[in-house]
Amino acid sequence: SIKVKQVDEVKISKYILRYTFQDWENIVESDVVIVGAGPSGMTAAYYLAKAGLKTVVFERRLSFGGGIGGGAMLFHKIVIESPADEVLKEMNIRLTKVEDGVYIVDSAEFMAKLATAAIDAGAKILHGVTVDDVIFRENPLRVAGVAVEWTATQMAGLHVDPLFISAKAVVDATGHDAEVISVAARKIPELNIVIPGEKSAYSEIAEELTVENTGMVAPGLYATGMAVTEVRGLPRMGPIFGAMVLSGKRVAEIIIKDLRY
Ligand code: 48F
């Protein structure tokens, strides 16, 4: 018979609490906070962590991948175009070539391996946590971190104050709603952030425009992925994901440069 190590309930609880709080104490002072574990956020996390930056991803849900899992109308294939295939190949994600520079990928493999790549590079991904505000500082005016709350607390509508996490860079990778940039625009008018909102689909041009417009929105605050289309008034592109990956890579490169890392 298999001898299974016996661990009592008290020990189980103590180990979980001890190591959880060790992580949280470390995370409260991060280099980079990424909000959202979708394709753009996890790609950014991969490159930032790989460069040695202390990177944490807060994800509202209990899953990885954001819009990857839903694919297009729940179909489990996603289109990727060059040069994003190079990033996926680096993560051992298998691609099927459908024409020159155009590939098909399985959504489950894309989600799982992208998350694995980010975690293996050293990024911390925490689930069930919602970012509902930012921290700011004056002289110079900048975003200096985020406020976090349990998603469950928010859903229950309980009156609970958040915890604060400091960061040298905050990345809005929340997708179509650009939630973090929206709250900063509303609550810190001095940042002069104007959000025109996303346009209807025009896939051919939307991909490149999204990557090109990726970057800083205000000091300390960056946009990647569909948050870029919302904040810059660009068209959407639907279930082609090359720009999400390339935008994640680009925001990481910009932050690495800005932090002179
Ligand atoms: O929506 P999502 O996948 O964003 P993305 O990286 O990619 C967009 C594509 O999936 C697709 C598309 C491409 O053509 O149109 O929509 O821009 O991932 C965003 C993640 O952020 C989480 C959300 O649950 C999702 O997993 N999220 C959103 N708001 C918050 C958040 C928040 N306030 N706090 C924490 N997580």
223-257, pLDDT tens digit by residue?
A: 999 999 999 999 999 999 999 999 999 999 999 99
The arrangement of secondary structure in 32-67+108-258, i.e. its CATH architecture, is 3-Layer(bba) Sandwich (3.50)
Residues at CB less than 6 angstroms from ligand 1: 35-41, 58-61, 66-68, 130-131, 173-175, 179, 225-227, 236-238, 241, 244
* Strand order across the 163-166 sheet: 129-137, 142-150, 163-166
pLDDT at 176 over 80: yes
Cα 151 to averaged position of ligand 1 atoms, centre (Å): 15
pLDDT band at 185 (very low <50, low <70, confident <90, very high): very high
Cα 11 to averaged position of ligand 1 atoms, centre (Å): 36
In what helix (H) or strand (E) does residue 119 lie, and over which residues does it extend? helix 107-121
pLDDT at 150 over 90: yes
Q: Are 227 and 38 in contact (CB under 8 A)?
A: no
pLDDT band at 260 (very low <50, low <70, confident <90, very high): confident
Q: Are 129 and 152 in contact (CB under 8 A)?
A: no
Q: Which atom of ligand 1 is nearest to the CA of 239?
A: 14
Cα 216 to averaged position of ligand 1 atoms, centre (Å): 18
- Predicted pLDDT of residue 86: 98
The two tokens of residue 195 are 């959000």
For the chain, the residue count is: 261
Alpha-carbon gap, residue 225 to 211, rounded angstroms:
8
Report the nearest-CA residue for atom 12 of ligand 1: 238
Report the nearest-CA residue for atom 16 of ligand 1: 67
Given CA atoms 192, 256, 175, 156 in this order, what sign does their dihedral have?
negative
How far are the Cα atoms of 19, 176, 228 from residue 134, in angstroms, in the given order?
A: 26, 19, 18
- Predicted pLDDT of residue 194: 97
Report the nearest-CA residue for atom 1 of ligand 1: 175
Tell how strand 96-99 and strand 124-127 pair up.
Answer: unpaired
For range 142-168, the mean pLDDT: 98
Report the nearest-CA residue for atom 20 of ligand 1: 36
Report the nearest-CA residue for atom 30 of ligand 1: 174
For range 196-218, the mean pLDDT: 98
Cα 25 to averaged position of ligand 1 atoms, centre (Å): 26
Question: Using one digit for the tens of pLDDT, what is the confidence trace for 98-149?
Answer: 999 999 999 999 999 999 999 999 999 999 999 999 999 999 999 999 999 9
- Predicted pLDDT of residue 75: 97
Spell 168-192 as b/e; 16+ CB within 10 A means b: bbbbbbbbeebbbbbbbbeebeebe
How far are the Cα atoms of 27, 71, 105, 108, 151 from residue 24, in angstroms, in the given order?
A: 5, 33, 35, 29, 17
- Predicted pLDDT of residue 55: 98
For range 207-213, the mean pLDDT: 98
pLDDT at 261 over 80: no
* Strand order across the 96-99 sheet: 77-81, 102-106, 96-99
Q: Which atom of ligand 1 is nearest to the CA of 132?
A: 33
For range 54-59, the mean pLDDT: 98
pLDDT band at 77 (very low <50, low <70, confident <90, very high): very high
Cα 99 to averaged position of ligand 1 atoms, centre (Å): 28
- Predicted pLDDT of residue 168: 98
In the chain, pLDDT over 70 holds for what percent of residues? 100
Residue 209: helix, strand or coil by DSSP? helix
Contacts of 219 (CB under 8 A, 6+ apart): 140, 141, 142, 143
Residue 234: helix, strand or coil by DSSP? coil
Cα 183 to averaged position of ligand 1 atoms, centre (Å): 16
- Predicted pLDDT of residue 167: 98
Contacts of 236 (CB under 8 A, 6+ apart): 176, 198, 199, 200, 201, 202, 206, 226, 229
Give the domain ranges of the chain: 32-67+108-258
- Predicted pLDDT of residue 7: 97
- The phi and psi torsions of 62 (rounded to 5 degrees) equal -100, 30
- Predicted pLDDT of residue 3: 97
Q: Are 133 and 146 in contact (CB under 8 A)?
A: yes
Average pLDDT across the chain, whole number: 98
Cα 60 to averaged position of ligand 1 atoms, centre (Å): 9
